[in-house]
Structure 1
Amino acid sequence: MYLRLLFLSTLSFYIFSADMLYVTRARISSTAAMGDLGVNLSFQENYVAMSNGLVEITLSNPEGHLTGIQYNGVDNLLEVINDETNRGYWDVVWSPPENTSRTKGTLERLAGTSCEVIVETEDQVELSFSRTWNSSLEGKLVPLKIDKRYILLRGSSGFYTYAIYEHLEEWPSFNLDNTRVAFKLRKDKFHYMANSDDRRRDMPLPDDRLSGRGEQLAYPEAVLLVDPIESHFKGEVDDKYQYATELKDLRVHGWICMDPPVGFWQITPSNEFRVGGPIKSELNSHVGPTTLAVFASTHYGGSDLIIKFGESESWKKVFGPIFIYLNNVTDEEDPHTLWEDAKNQMSVEVEGWPYDFVTSDDFQSKHQRGSVSGRLLVQDRFINSKGCISASGAYVGLAPPGDIGSWQRECKKYQFWTKADEEGYFSIPNILTDEYNLYAWVPGFIGDYINSTIINITSGVNIDLGDLVYELPRDGPTLWEIGYPDRLAAEFYIPDPDPRYANSFLLSDPNRFRQYGLWDRYSELYPDNDLVYTVGESDYTKDFFYAHVLRKTNNDTYEQATWTIKFSLYNINENETYTLRIALASAHQSDLQVRVNDLNEVPLFSTGKIGGDNAIARHGIHGIYWLFNIEIPGNILYSHEENSIYLTQVNNESRFQGVMYDYIRLEVPQTKTMNINS
C-alpha cells in the first residue's frame, strides 16, 4: 500500500538577494562540498556514467537513454521497474508528408548509434549520442540526424541536456508533430507535484488510473478515480491536461520525494527554441510521476503547429539546453521548501542564459547574439483623440518574417519575447543571428501589431527601434462591447463543475476553467433555449458562457447552439456600414456563422471550418487567436427597435467542436454619433 500524508503548503514566493540564495543553496545542498571532487567519467559494458560527488547519471551506450540518477543516498530516482528505455529519453512523433491535417503519427524514442566524448575535464563532461539517417531507414525512423547531448558540471546539483536536429535537403519530406524529453520517476517515492504556486499538491498514483480503480471518461487521458489506493482521491478526475501551463510561465516544475526529502525539477531558462509563442500552453508534470520538457507539439494549436518538411528542404535546430535540478533538505526540515529553492535556482539559470559552457557550434554564445529595444505606443483616436497611449504590459517579440499573427503558427525557427513596462518600453536580449519581424499585442486592445521591416540580427548588434505605433483596427466609436480583449475567455462565466467530477484544488480562481466536463454544463444551464445576451442588461461575467459549445440532447448526441446578442439603435442611416469585430480565443473544427435580424437568412458571414486547438476538451481557456471584422449594412438594422445578432457554430460531428470568444465589439460608422438604448 502506498500510504502517505497529504501535505498542505502556503509558502509564497519571495524576492531574494545573492547572499540569501547562497545561504539557501548551502543549507539545502548539505553535501555541496562533495562537488569539489570534480567530474568523473566512466565507461562500462553498454553504459556510461558521469558523476561529480553530488549526482551520478547513467546512460545506455550508444543509445543515450537515461537509465539511472543517483542522488542523496537514493540509488535511482528514475522508475526502476520500467524498462531502461522508458525512464529518461528524448522522443518524437512523426508522420508521412501526406498526413497534413492529422495530429497523430508514429511515436519514436530517439536512440543513438554512437557515443562521443565532447569534453572531459575535472570541471565538465559533455557526451554526445548521435544517429544519422540513410535511405535504408526510410519509413522506419524519422529522417533526421539526431545529436543528443548531456552535460555535467563540477559542483552542480543536476545536469543539462539538449539536442540538435538536422534535416538534409536530399532526405525525404515528412511531418514532425511533437518532440520532447520525458522523465519517469519512482512512484514509490515521488508523490508531491508542483507546477506553480497555485497548482502543487499530493498526487494520485498511476495505479489509480488502471481498470477497476479508474474509469475512463470522454477520452483516455481523463480518468475518474473510483477506487483509488488512498481514499481521499475518490471521485476526482485525473487528467494531465489540467496541469498544462503557458510557456511564459513554464520555467520550473517537478516533484518532491518526502523520504528522503529530495526534489526533482525540470528548469527551462529560455523559450527561444519552443514553438507557438509565449502564451501557447504545454504539458509539463503529471501523474506517473512524469516530468516533461515539450519543445514542439500540436497541443492547444492543432495541425497548424505540425512542423512540415518539404522536398529539398534543409533545416537545423537546437532544442535546449534544459536543466534537471536536484535538491534536498534534512529530515528535520520541511520538504516543501524544496519548491522555493527550485524557483530560486530557476532565476539563477535564467540569469545565466545563454550558457557559456555549451560546446556545440550550433549554440550561439552571448557575444554572438544581438539585442533589440524600443517603445510601443497604441493609437486609438476614439479612446484618446489627442495622441498615443503607452502599450503597458504589451507582449513584444521577434519571430521569422511573416504576416500579422503568423508567430502563433511558426514552428521551425526561434522566437524571442518580452513584456513591455508600464510606459511601453521593451528590451529583447540574446537574439540569435537571423532575420526577423517584430510582433506584439497589448492586453486591453484588440488585434495584432507587426512591424514589417526586416530586422537583421548580427553578432553584437544592439538595435534601438525608437517609438513604434500600433494603430488599432477601428472604423468608428464603440456602440457596445462584450468581454475584455486579452486573448482569454477567462472573464466570462465559468460554471461550477459537475459534483461527480470536481477536483477541490481547482475550484477557485484562477484554475476554475480546468475542471473536467464543463462543456456539458452548458446543456444543463440552457436545456431548452440557447444563450441570449441583452446589451445594457446582461453581465458578461455572469450571463455569457465561457465557451460556445454544442448542446447535449437526451439521446447523448450534440446539436448546434445559436447564441443571440440583442441591442437597440436609433437614427440609423441605411447607406452606412457598421463593423462587428469578433475576436476568438479558441476554435476547434468550427464554422461560426453570423446572421443579423433573420435567423433563416443566408449567413452574413461565415468563418469556414477553422481551428484544431481542442482547448475545450483539454481544460484550456484559449488556443490560437482569431480576429474577424464583419461589415453590417445599415439597411438590415432596425431603428427604434430591438436588433439581434445570431452566432451559430454549425459543425457538430464531434462533442468538442466549438469556439471561445475573447471579445466582441460593434462599431458605429465614424460619421454617426453613437446612440444606444441602455
Structure 2
Amino acid sequence: MRVSIFVLVLTYIVSVVYGVSLNDNGTSYTLKNDYATVVIAKSSGFITSMKIGGNNQEFLNRSYIDANGGKVYFAAKRSSVITNTSSHVEIAFYDTYDSKSGLALDWEVRYTMLSDTRGVYFALRHNHSASYPTTSFSEIRLVLRLKADIFNWLQVEDNVGRFMPSAADQNKCVEMGPKEACKLPNGEVIHKYDYSIDMLKHNVHGFASQSTGLGCWFVSPSMEWKNGGAYNRDLSCHQGGSDSLQIMYMAGSHYGAGDETINQGENWSKVYGPFLIYLNKANSVQASWNDAKDMATKEGKKWPYTFTSIPGYVKERGKVTGTLAINNPLTGTRLPLEDAVVTLVQPESNTEPIPHQQWRHTSHWAHSLNGATPTFVIYAVVPGTYQLRAWAKGVVGEFILDQLVTVKAGEVTNLGKFTFNENRIAPITWEIGIPDRTAMEYRHGDHFNQWGLYYEFEKDFPNSVNYYVGKSNYAKDWNYCQVSIPGSDGKYKGVPWNIYFNLNKIPTGTSVLRISIAASSSAALSIALNDGKATPEVKDLIDDACIRRDGIRGIYRELEFKFDPSAFKVGENKFTLYCRKIGGYQTYYSFDGIMYDHIRLEAPGIDGTTTNNASGSGNNNVKTSTTTIIRTSTTTKAPTPTNNNNNNNSGSCAAQWAQCGGINYSGPTRCCQGSCNFVNDWYSQCV
C-alpha cells in the first residue's frame, strides 16, 4: 500500500514540476511533457518526430496534411504561438488563399499539448470568404507515415486487426483488380479498403508494435465534423512499403459521400477536431488497443474540449432528449427496437442530398438504443436547427420527425415521446434477411472485408441464386451482393436472381415487394413476377463503391414494387430480380451490383400462414424509409422519397392524394387509403 501511495505522489510531483514546454530553435517547434515529445517543422506545419518519454524509438517516417489524395498540400505560410504556459502549449500554422493555392480556402492548423497529454491534439479550420472563387474537394486528411518495421500491427475495430506484411513482401506485390489490391508472394491479397471504418460508433484506429509494445492511435471523442456523420464510411489505415499509413479523413468521398463544393459568394468555415494523436506503450498489441479504447472513453467525457481557442470551435453546447417509439400501423402495437439510432442533421439545400452527402455543418447522434420505447440523450450538440432521423435494427427504413429541432447553448431540448408509424400496407407474407442496413447476414457477409469475394459468385452459385422461401437459408443461399459475371465475349453481364414461394390463395388487393438496399454500384434494378413484364428500372441508385471497396453498408435505400392480385397464382410463384450494369467498368472485373439489406412481401388477405417464412428470417418488424414505388400495371414512378414516415400524433387519416407529412405539417399522417410517400422535406402525399 505504501508503495502505491508513493508512486501516485511521485507521479503527481513529476507532472507538476515538469509540466509542458515549448522550444523554438528557428526551424521547428518542440512540444514536450514528461510523457511525449513532438517536433513540428515551421516551414511546413507537419509533424516530423514523435517519441514517448524515456524511449528513444522514433515513431515517424514523415507526416503531411493534404487534399484530394495528395493533389493539394497544406503549405504553412506562417506560424504563431497561441499559448505557452507550464500547463498548456498551443501553436498555429496558417496557409492563406492566394491565386497560386490549390484550393480557394484558408487553412489553420493547431497543435496542442497539455501537461498530461499523452501525445498531441490536432485541429484544422477551413475558411472560404465570399470573394474567393468556387472551389471543390473530395478529401481532406492528416496522414502519419509510421515506421512499418516497428508499427506492424494494424487495428481499426475490435474484430479488424492484423499483422501487416513486410515491406520486402509488399515490394513484390502483383496488382490485382481493383488496382488498390495486390497479391503477396505467399498468395494472400491485401486491399487497403479492408480496413475502412463506419463513423457511427467509431472513436479509435491506428497501429501498434509487436516488438516494442508501442502504439500510435487517432482517438476521436466526437466525429460530429465528419462529412456524412453517422452514415459515413471511410478509409482509415493501410500499409505501403516501409510506411504504415495512419490516416484521419476529415472529409472523404470513398463510399459515395461525393465532392464538396463551395461557390463564389459563399462565406463558409468549418473546424475539424480536435482529436488526439495518442502514443502509448503496453505489453502486447491487444493491450495497446484496449488502452487506446479506454483513452477514447476518457476523452469523450471531456468533449467539448475547453482548452482549444481555434476560431469557430463551439464550446457552449446544448442537449437533446426524447423517447422513440415505432408502431405497426396495421395493429397499432409497438415494435421492439434493437440497436436503434437517432441522428440530428442540418439540411443544406434543396440540391444537396442529406444526410449521406452532408458536409457543411456538424451532425450528432445517439446509438445502441434498445426496447419498445427507448429514451435517448444526444450530448454536446452545436446550437442550431436540425432534422431528426431515426432507424433501428429489425425495422425496415428510416424515419424523419415532422418538425425541426432547435438546439440552444446551455439548454436541454426535450422532445418528449414521439411515435413513428412504419410503412406497411399489409401483413408480412414472408421476408428474407434482417433489416439492419447491412448485408452482413448473407453468404460471405460475416467476413465482407476480404478482397475478391465478388469473384466467388459463379463458383458459389453456378446456377445463380434460386431462393425457396421456407426451405432456403439466407446465411448460405443468398449471396451478400448481386454482381455481374463475365460473358463469353469478356464483357460483364447481369444474372437474374429468383425467389420462389407458395400461395394457397390470391391476395385480396395490391401487394408490395419491399426491398431495402444496403449498398449499390453502377446498377439498375427491376422486378418481374411469374415471368411477367418487368417493372420499370430503378436507375438512380447512388454508386457508393461499397462492393469494390469491400464494405457491407453504403447508401441505404428502400424500394417498393407494387403488384396487382391478378399477377399472382395459387401454388408456386416466382419473383425475378434483374440487376443490370449501367456504368462502371465494362471489362476486366465486375464491381457493379447491389447489396440487399432485407426483402419482404406484404400481401393483403395473406397473413403469413398461407406460405412458409424464410428459414432463419423470423423478424417481422418493419418500418419505412427511402422509398421508390413501382407498379406493374402502369409505368408511373413516384417521386423518390428518402423517408416517407412522419410521426403520427393524430387518430384521423388523410384522404388519397392529400398531404400526410412534411416539415411544419400538423395534420394527420396516417393515410385512409394507400401509403404516405415522401416527395420532399416539406411535403408527403397519400398515394
- Aligned CA distance change for structure 1 residues 244 and 30 (closer, same or farther; 3 Å): farther
Question: Residue 622 of structure 1 corresponds to which residue in structure 2?
Answer: 553
Question: Residue 578 of structure 2 corresponds to which residue in structure 1?
Answer: 648
Question: Residue 163 of structure 2 corresponds to which residue in structure 1?
Answer: 202
Pick from 312, 322, 336 the counterpart of residue 374 of structure 1.
Answer: 322
Pick from 252, 257, 263 the counterpart of residue 209 of structure 2.
Answer: 257
Summarize the alignment of residues 431-510 of structure 1 with structure 2, pairs less than 5 Å apart.
431-494=381-444, 510=446
Question: Residue 595 of structure 2 corresponds to which residue in structure 1?
Answer: 660
In 2, Cα distance between the equivalents of 1:69 and 1:312? 41
Correspondence 1:237 to 2:189: yes
In 2, Cα distance between the equivalents of 1:35 and 1:209? 46
Question: Residue 585 of structure 1 corresponds to which residue in structure 2?
Answer: 518
Pick from 489, 506, 518 the counterpart of residue 572 of structure 1.
Answer: 506
In 2, Cα distance between the equivalents of 1:252 and 1:673? 46
Equivalent residue letter for 1:579: V
- Aligned CA distance change for structure 1 residues 63 and 636 (closer, same or farther; 3 Å): same
SS at match of 1:185: strand
Summarize the alignment of residues 124-523 of structure 1 with structure 2, pairs less than 5 Å apart.
124-134=88-98, 136-137=99-100, 140-210=101-171, 213-226=172-185, 234-287=186-239, 288-301=243-256, 304-329=257-282, 333-334=283-284, 336-365=286-315, 368-382=316-330, 385=331, 387-401=333-347, 406-419=354-367, 420-422=369-371, 423-494=373-444, 510=446, 512-523=447-458
- Aligned CA distance change for structure 1 residues 335 and 447 (closer, same or farther; 3 Å): closer
In 2, Cα distance between the equivalents of 1:536 and 1:605? 29
- Aligned CA distance change for structure 1 residues 573 and 377 (closer, same or farther; 3 Å): closer
Q: How far 1:664 moved relative to its partner?
A: 0.8
Q: How far 1:240 moved relative to its partner?
A: 1.4
SS at match of 1:265: strand
SS at match of 1:605: coil
- Aligned CA distance change for structure 1 residues 32 and 543 (closer, same or farther; 3 Å): farther
Q: How far 1:106 moved relative to its partner?
A: 6.4
SS at match of 2:393: coil
Q: How far 1:523 moved relative to its partner?
A: 1.2
Equivalent residue letter for 2:245: T
* Residues 231 and 356 in structure 2, CA contact (< 8 A), matched pair in contact too: no
SS at match of 1:345: helix
Question: Residue 621 of structure 2 corresponds to which residue in structure 1?
Answer: none
Q: How far 1:522 moved relative to its partner?
A: 0.7
* Residues 57 and 70 in structure 1, CA contact (< 8 A), matched pair in contact too: yes
Q: How far 1:239 moved relative to its partner?
A: 1.4
SS at match of 2:38: strand
In 2, Cα distance between the equivalents of 1:322 and 1:630? 45
* Residues 78 and 88 in structure 1, CA contact (< 8 A), matched pair in contact too: no
* Residues 161 and 320 in structure 1, CA contact (< 8 A), matched pair in contact too: yes
Pick from 86, 89, 106 the counterpart of residue 122 of structure 1.
Answer: 86
Q: How far 1:549 moved relative to its partner?
A: 0.6
- Aligned CA distance change for structure 1 residues 643 and 407 (closer, same or farther; 3 Å): same
* Residues 615 and 622 in structure 1, CA contact (< 8 A), matched pair in contact too: yes
Per-residue CA distance 1:227-265 (angstroms, 9 max, x = gap): xxxxxxx22222111111211342112222345432212
In 1, Cα distance between the equivalents of 2:406 and 2:231? 25
Equivalent residue letter for 1:370: G
Per-residue CA distance 1:389-448 (angstroms, 9 max, x = gap): 453431001111379993222122111011224341100010001110111101100111
For structure 1, the 5+ residue unaligned runs are 1-18, 81-86, 94-104, 227-233, 496-509
Equivalent residue letter for 2:208: I
Equivalent residue letter for 1:650: R
- Aligned CA distance change for structure 1 residues 626 and 570 (closer, same or farther; 3 Å): same
Question: Residue 469 of structure 2 corresponds to which residue in structure 1?
Answer: 535
* Residues 523 and 552 in structure 1, CA contact (< 8 A), matched pair in contact too: no
Provide the alpha-carbon RMSD of the alignment: 2.6
* Residues 405 and 439 in structure 1, CA contact (< 8 A), matched pair in contact too: no
SS at match of 1:190: coil
* Residues 570 and 675 in structure 1, CA contact (< 8 A), matched pair in contact too: no
SS at match of 2:229: coil
Q: How far 1:586 moved relative to its partner?
A: 0.3
- Aligned CA distance change for structure 1 residues 573 and 272 (closer, same or farther; 3 Å): closer
In 2, Cα distance between the equivalents of 1:158 and 1:88? 15
In 2, Cα distance between the equivalents of 1:466 and 1:31? 46
Q: How far 1:70 moved relative to its partner?
A: 2.7
Equivalent residue letter for 2:178: Y
Question: Residue 63 of structure 1 corresponds to which residue in structure 2?
Answer: 44
SS at match of 2:456: helix
Pick from 621, 632, 636 the counterpart of residue 563 of structure 2.
Answer: 632
Greater shift in the superposed pair: 258-267 or 351-360: 258-267
For structure 2, the 5+ residue unaligned runs are 613-687
Question: Residue 640 of structure 2 corresponds to which residue in structure 1?
Answer: none
In 2, Cα distance between the equivalents of 1:258 and 1:517? 28
Per-residue CA distance 1:118-177 (angstroms, 9 max, x = gap): 11111111111011113x22xx51111100000011132211000111111221222220
In 1, Cα distance between the equivalents of 2:226 and 2:13? 33
How high is the TM-score relative to the length of structure 1?
0.83
SS at match of 2:395: coil
How high is the TM-score relative to the length of structure 2?
0.82
Equivalent residue letter for 1:242: D
Question: Residue 99 of structure 1 corresponds to which residue in structure 2?
Answer: none
In 1, Cα distance between the equivalents of 2:155 and 2:566? 57
**Percent of residue pairs identical:** 28
In 2, Cα distance between the equivalents of 1:431 and 1:47? 37
In 1, Cα distance between the equivalents of 2:359 and 2:267? 15
Q: How far 1:38 moved relative to its partner?
A: 2.2
SS at match of 1:453: coil
In 1, Cα distance between the equivalents of 2:160 and 2:358? 29
Query: Segments of 4+ in structure 1 off by > 4 A?
Result: 29-32, 73-76, 333-336, 402-405, 671-675
- Aligned CA distance change for structure 1 residues 456 and 677 (closer, same or farther; 3 Å): closer
SS at match of 1:538: coil
- Aligned CA distance change for structure 1 residues 335 and 438 (closer, same or farther; 3 Å): closer
Q: How far 1:308 moved relative to its partner?
A: 2.2
* Residues 103 and 136 in structure 2, CA contact (< 8 A), matched pair in contact too: no
Correspondence 1:92 to 2:67: yes
Q: How far 1:74 moved relative to its partner?
A: 4.8
